[in-house]
Structure 1
Amino acid sequence: MPVGRTGRVGRVVTGFAFVLALAGCAQPGQLGHPAPAPEAAPAAPDAAPITAASAPAGPQTVGRGVVDVPLRFRTPAPADYAVRTLDLAPGAALGWETHPGTELTLLAAGQAAVQEAGACAPRVLAPGEVAAVGEGVAHVVRNTGTAPARLVVTTFLAQGVPEATQVPPACPEEPPAAAPAP
């Protein structure tokens, strides 16, 4: 029986959640985490060892919700992916950029907004929400709060190309003032 559009989106979102869960649990040498070099020095003696009391009890959900745009992950060849966390200081921005693939940015903590070319009104994210940005779409992510914002950024990119290209701002920093009423 053919799978409908909703089924494909559900599988993509489920797959994204699975990647996030595994990425947080992966050990060196798994899921793209490089194994330590043989000559790597041992951990600093003052580093606290992970004990059963300090380790998380199991997989933890960072966010859950609905992606408000249709998603299509289709690549002509194998694609590279990366899942990373990023902390943005209050008022900081990542800068306007594009990607040769799809980017999913989940706000794990704090306050942030995403602004995209063609839809310059900032899209405010609540903790646990995700913004999906398509291939080649100029965008910027800003911390709009007074505390650090923690982002979990997942990218699915064409192989062998730069991860991001910096571009000039596609929207004004401040929305233009409304014209006075006649």
Structure 2
Amino acid sequence: MTVRLLTVVGFAVALCAAMPAMTAGATPPDGDAARTDIAKGTTETPVSITTDGPTTLIVQSLVLQPGASSGWHTHPGTELSVITGGSVALQTATACAPVTYGAGQAVSIPAGVPHRVVNESGSDAQVVLTYTIPVDAPVRGDAPDVCAN
């Protein structure tokens, strides 16, 4: 009886191995739903977001008129920004020389890094900002100008 059981089990294993694997198919959308891209940008910097607990996700639209500045500040979580129109110059505490970003570019600023954004152009700059911050934390805090001579 043991030999027959082993034969049946071996046959069942061989049959299962020979069968094509079943794959789950995606389901198509159903009903009225529309997606609209708000912003799309590319960055050469690898992006990684890690949180230590409950997190609030905030998405904002920012328009900086010519000459406008965000002032030096920090965020308690990662900031991901996409420039959707015009250009901005970014200074950070780790790189005081301003770096200009234009439409279609993305910027990642780690939590706690003092920085400021300035519109040095002659036209409005538009930016879509996404923040990942601890629940109930303020979005930003003022910071001193770490690049002042």
Q: Same fold by TM-score, threshold 0.5 exceeded?
A: yes
Alpha-carbon offset, residue 61 of structure 1? 6.0
What is the total number of aligned residue pairs between the two structures?
117
Match for 2:89 among 105, 109, 113?
113
Provide the TM-score with structure 1 as the length reference: 0.60
Q: How does 1:4-19 map to 2 (within 5 A)?
A: none
Instruction: Map 1:1-182; keep pairs closer than 5 Å.
Output: 59-60=36-37, 62-65=39-42, 67-172=43-148
Structure 1 equivalent of residue 30 of structure 2: none
Instruction: Indicate conservation of the 8 Å contact 1:99/1:135, yes or no.
Output: yes
Q: Secondary structure at the residue paired with 1:101?
A: coil
Q: Tell which structure's C-alpha radius of gyration is larger.
A: 2
Extract unaligned runs of 5+ from structure 1: 1-56, 177-182
Matched residues in 2 for 1:147 and 1:90: separation? Answer: 5
Runs of 4+ in 1 over 3 A off after TM superposition: none
Cα distance in 2 for residues equivalent to 1:103 and 1:64: 14
Q: Is the 8 A contact 1:63 1:127 kept in 2?
A: no
Aligned to 1:46: none
C-alpha RMSD of the superposition: 2.0
AA partner of residue 155 (structure 1): Y
In the alignment, is the contact (CA less than 8 A) between 1:114 and 1:131 conserved in 2? no
Query: Secondary structure of 1:141's partner?
Result: strand
Q: Give the residue type in structure 2 aligned to 1:166.
A: D
- Alignment partners' CA distance in 2, 1:171 and 1:133: 17
Between the aligned partners of 1:94 and 1:122, the Cα distance in structure 2 is: 14
Gaps of 5+ in 2: 1-33
TM-score (norm 2): 0.72
* Deviation sequence 1:59-90 (CA, Å, 0-9, x none): 2463232x222322111112101111011110
> How far off its partner does 1:58 sit?
5.5
Percent of counterpart pairs with the same letter? 34
Tell me, in whole angstroms, the C-alpha distance in 2 between the residues paired with 1:103 and 1:130. 10
